[in-house]
Amino acid sequence: MDDCGCDGYPGTPFDADEAQRDRDRYRADGPDETTRMLLDMIEDGGVSGATVLDVGGGIGAIDHELLSAGASRAVLVEASPASVEAARLEAEAAGLLDRIEIVAGDFVRRADGIDEADIVTLDRVLCCYRAADELVSASAEHARQLYGLVLPRDRWYVRWLIKLDNVRWWLKRSAYRAYAHSNTRIDERVRAAGLTPRSEAFTRYWRVVLYERVGSDAPLPH
């Protein structure tokens, strides 16, 4: 079993039904609220010509949106087999297979073989990944300019809700677990990779934060 709980073991929340629901929801309503918040932060300075690395990107909503906004290419790394298949179908339907590379597998295990990108995103990925230190360090080092995260907030009620959700998975006899990682520790890991927060926003449950590489004055490619 991999550290994200996406590799097809019984009881995973990342199955074919969930992937189809994600596709239907995206087609009907566009990106989810927090995804849209992250996209707005990224697109604020323009993304024309930029390359994108979307870690744990599901069906590829971030990739589709940033490519539509002017990014040149995207690499989506996804460990859930069902989401990988859904992402391929969605990219094909949108005519984007020539601009999106879809890599199946756990990013931490595949990181050495994946190129850096101007923009790296992890949208609601850390909450599903046990080894957060390794994931953040590996992915942040791949960000040439911008690094965006959506993760659970450091609040007592968020940690309580996640514990309650894990009881539900335990009762279902699923090995999947969700995680409320320390936001302070995440920030420290990102800073150690040479990035600093540029903007952030919150919902009651989620923190949306965009970091930029320290000392990188060069604009995104145009």
Residue-wise pLDDT for 155-210, tens only, equals 999 999 999 999 999 998 988 999 999 999 999 999 999 999 999 999 999 999 99
Sheet holding 143-152, edge to edge: 100-104, 73-78, 51-55, 117-123, 143-152, 206-213, 195-202
pTM of the model: 0.92
Query: What share of the chain has pLDDT > 70, as a percent?
Result: 91
d(CA 35, CA 123): 7
Phi/psi for 70 (5° steps) reads: 125, -5
The topology under which CATH files domain 16-213 is Rossmann fold (3.40.50)
Contact 193, 144 (CB under 8 A): no
pLDDT digits (tens, 9 = 90+) for 40-72: 999 998 999 999 999 999 999 999 999 999 999
- Quote the crossing angle between the two packed helices 33-43 and 61-68, to the nearest 10°: 30
